[in-house]
Amino acid sequence: MTTLPPSPPEDRFPAGRAAFPHRDLTGIGQLERHEVLYILDQAQRWVELNRQRSKHAELLSGLTIINAFFENSTRTLLSFEIAGKRLGADVVNMVAATSSLKKGETLIDTAITLNAMRADAIVIRHGSSGATQLIADKVDCPVLNAGDGSHEHPTQALLDALALRHALAERGEASEDFTGRTITICGDILHGRVARSSLLCLQALGATVRLCAPPALMPAGIEAMGAQVFDDFDAALEGSDVVMMLRLQSERMAGQFIPSAREYRHRYGLTAKRLKRAASDLLVMHPGPMNRGVEIDSEVADLAGRSLVTRQVEMGVAIRMACLDILTRAARGVEGWETQA
């Protein structure tokens, strides 16, 4: 029999819906610091459930979740599907190859169609920035952004924060936030929605964030968001507590952004040699999928005690369970959550 872990104490947060007043989760940019912390704390309950032999809860029994993925995905789609099913919801996956968009239907018409099916929550992944918000404006149920173009990927940033929290706690450095930590994000910052969401999330939790990329892959004016900008990876790593590697988003590139993959690895790849020059306790992260031998070497990606790659995948299910739980509380009539924002 499944033993459902108790809800975490909420006396640190505003009561009821005031703890998370948003109907949708379309970006980290919409969240206050305490709202980010609230999601992380709620997710801990599901980390514990997911480590039990029996992992099934019935909180979302009778609800229908639609995962509408207009862009290819493995980790994110599976993670949302597992999250919904472990909470007891009916989960339906809609993938781009079988959608009516291939027949010329507009995104707005697709949104209207999904809304008419009376889903209780819709998870959207789309190749165009802003598509998730467009759909959210047309439907009556909560919408979760599973990645929209080069804009944001909020649940990825949240799961990365949770994975880092766990890793630091295991080192005896438990803290609810990352105040005093320096975190470097290296890779395709220009096209990487993970970079934007992670920057916002980590800064909200008190971290100093460094962004490192070739000049052609660094967004103009990104300093205005409070990031420290580097084009020298070794300099960016100096004094860093964590490094998050991002892959080259070749599917979003039109033109030549780097001389070659070999040159990119030489200057921006996290190799074993480069890791040895960094702090001995530097933690390594990567949201996946990884291009081994380009932005990260296998020896580093699989390094026990330093790499958090598989832990990130584990925390992804817990974070998405927490988000589905929180955003459907109004529909479920949870006390204090009845009034929509």
Instruction: Please report, for the domain that includes residue 230, its CATH number.
Output: 3.40.50.1370
Please check whether residues 308 and 167 belong to one and the same domain: yes
Please check whether residues 99 and 247 belong to one and the same domain: no
Please check whether residues 296 and 197 belong to one and the same domain: yes
- From residue 101, give the alpha-carbon distance in Å to each of 113, 121, 146, 309: 12, 20, 18, 34
Mean pLDDT lowest among 110-114, 179-183, 184-188: 110-114
Please check whether residues 148 and 212 belong to one and the same domain: no
Is residue 273 situated within a structural domain?
yes
Stretch 295-301: mean pLDDT, rounded?
97
Please check whether residues 109 and 160 belong to one and the same domain: no
Between 166 and 74, name the one with better pLDDT.
166
Is residue 33 situated within a structural domain?
yes
Please check whether residues 68 and 169 belong to one and the same domain: no
Note the pLDDT of residue 98. Answer: 55
Please check whether residues 272 and 321 belong to one and the same domain: no
Please check whether residues 181 and 305 belong to one and the same domain: yes
Note the pLDDT of residue 341. Answer: 45
Please check whether residues 133 and 247 belong to one and the same domain: no
Question: pLDDT per residue over 57-82, tens digit each?
Answer: 999 999 999 999 998 888 999 999 99
Note the pLDDT of residue 256. Answer: 58
Q: How many CA atoms lie within 13 A of 40 on its CB side?
A: 28
Is residue 5 situated within a structural domain?
no
Please check whether residues 114 and 202 belong to one and the same domain: no
Is residue 259 situated within a structural domain?
yes
Whether residue 225 has pLDDT greater than 60: yes
Indicate the number of domains in the chain.
2
Stretch 154-182: mean pLDDT, rounded?
96
Whether residue 107 has pLDDT greater than 90: no
Please check whether residues 198 and 230 belong to one and the same domain: yes
Domain that holds residue 261: 154-313
Question: pLDDT per residue over 234-281, tens digit each?
Answer: 999 999 999 999 998 765 544 556 768 889 999 999 999 999 999 999
Is residue 11 situated within a structural domain?
no
Please check whether residues 175 and 304 belong to one and the same domain: yes
Question: pLDDT per residue over 319-339, tens digit each?
Answer: 999 999 999 999 999 999 986
